Amino acid sequence: MNSTIKVKNENWYENTYLDFTALGVYLCVSVNVPKDLVRFLAKENVHKGDKLYVYSLKKHIKSEYVNKINMRSVHDILLNRCKINVREAKKKLLDKQILEYGKQLSFCC
């Protein structure tokens, strides 16, 4: 049986939650993404939120390694990976838009 706790602390971002299990803790970090980026991100990590789509990454930390330093380190790694993945998705979207715009220009001239 798992129990999820939404983290409310000034040292953690609001988009972080902990899921406690018998074997440790799942630490999840999420970021909001616009609808047009969803197709460039892994489908299993994206779900529909109230207003925007939410991209999240999750990591399990075994019980013997759960401490403040490790939790903070994993949190930072996950958050940075989320940001990198969203930036890469934005790059793919812009590349696609540039190609489409180039095709439009070649047809009109």
Please write the tens of the pLDDT for every residue from 43-102: 999 999 888 899 999 999 999 999 989 999 999 999 999 999 999 999 999 999 888 887
Give dist(CA 22, CA 2) in Å, integer: 8
- Cβ atoms of residues 29 and 56 within 8 Å: yes
- Average pLDDT of span 18-45: 91
Give the per-residue pLDDT at 99.
87
Length of the chain: 109
Give dist(CA 71, CA 7) in Å, integer: 12
Task: Print the domain residue range for 100.
Answer: 3-108
Query: How many domains would you assign to the chain?
Result: 1
- Cβ atoms of residues 19 and 66 within 8 Å: no
2 band by pLDDT with thresholds 50, 70 and 90: low
